[in-house]
Structure formats: C-alpha cells, structure tokens
C-alpha cells in the first residue's frame, strides 16, 4: 500500500524524468551532495501533508500534500548562480504545470506554492532553487492517506 504523499512524490519524479529529463540527474530524496561532474540536478522530496475537511467515518479522504522540488545548478565564471539555476527552474515548472497540472492524471491537481533560493550550497558554486508544490489527492480508502 502506498500513501498519497509517496504517490505524489513518485508522480512528480516520473514527470521530471520523462524523456527528455529536465536535468542530467533527477532523484527522489537524495541524501548525498552532488558529484563534482554533475552540472544540474533535481531532487524531489515530500515536505508534509494536511488533511482536508471532507471525511468518511471520521477519516479524511482529501489531502493537500506538499512536495519540494530542489533544482541544483553549478555556476561558472561566466554565469552567475541565479542565472545558472534559472533555466532549470523554468523547465521544471513548465513540465509540472503541463497536462492541466494533473501529471497526466496521476494526481488530482498540482499547484505552485513558493520558490526559495540558496546560493553556494556545497562550497562548489552550486545554486539551489526549491519549488514547493501543493498536490491535492483524494484517497480511495478513507483508512489510507
């Protein structure tokens, strides 16, 4: 059995990995720093979930799952960090907002919530832009979220 949070995380990963992938590396909850030879990477991770008001037998059936999508890009002497990560952010956003924002029917609805930036995250001139999305899901079984 898969939770709605795990299903949403997997659906976003699959969308970003679809050919052509948005980055040279797309990973689910990566725990290590990027390899030195990796110029761009995307990491998808669950960030939380909130139960909706609709319930059956006291159990929520609608959930708003927050999924963070971290976009990493290495700056160069000719490209500032914010510019280096900008194209990856744009490609990631466009991919997830396509298909009427349902990821080809894999989720109920995905909506953007915020973007935050961090620069030189690894001491190697790597910029990270984290896009936070809310994925609305409905459980088929009220005892499972």
Q: What is the pLDDT of residues 47-70, one digit of tens each?
A: 999 887 666 666 667 889 999 999
Q: Examine residue 66 and state whether it is found in any structural domain, yes or no.
A: yes
Q: Is residue 22 part of a domain?
A: yes
Whether 122 maps to a domain, the answer reads yes
Whether 144 is covered by a domain: the verdict is no
Residue 61 resides in a domain: yes
33, part of any domain: yes
| C-beta of residue 44 within 8 angstroms of C-beta of residue 124 | no
**What pLDDT digit, counting tens, does each position of 10-50 carry?**
999 999 999 999 999 999 998 676 777 888 999 999 999 98
Give me the number of domains the chain comprises.
1
Establish if 143 belongs to a structural domain.
no
Q: What DSSP character marks residue 18? A: S
Cβ atoms within 10 Å of 130's Cβ, excluding its own? 18
Q: What is the CATH number of the domain that holds 98?
A: 3.30.70.1700
Domain span including residue 59: 4-138
E-only strand ranges, 30-144: 40-51, 55-56, 59-60, 62-74, 109-119, 126-138
Task: Give the CA angle between residues 117, 122, 124 to the nearest 5°.
Answer: 105
Average pLDDT of span 88-109: 89
Report the predicted TM-score, pTM, of the whole model to 2 decimal places: 0.89
User: Does a structural domain hold residue 28?
Assistant: yes
């Amino acid at each position: 059995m898969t939770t709605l949070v795990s299903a949403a995380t997997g659906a976003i990963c699959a969308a970003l990995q679809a050919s052509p992938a948005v980055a040279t590396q797309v990973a689910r909850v990566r725990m290590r720093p990027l390899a030195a030879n990796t110029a761009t990477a995307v990491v998808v991770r669950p960030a939380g979930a909130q139960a909706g008001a609709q319930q059956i037998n006291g159990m929520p059936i609608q959930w708003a799952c927050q999924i963070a999508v971290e976009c990493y890009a290495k700056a160069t002497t000719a490209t500032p960090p914010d510019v280096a990560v900008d194209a990856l952010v744009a490609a990631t956003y466009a991919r997830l907002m396509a298909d009427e924002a349902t990821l080809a029917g894999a989720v109920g609805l995905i909506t953007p919530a915020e973007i935050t930036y961090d620069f030189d995250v690894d001491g190697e001139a790597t910029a990270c832009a984290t896009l936070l999305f809310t994925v609305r899901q409905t459980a088929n079984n009220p005892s499972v979220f």
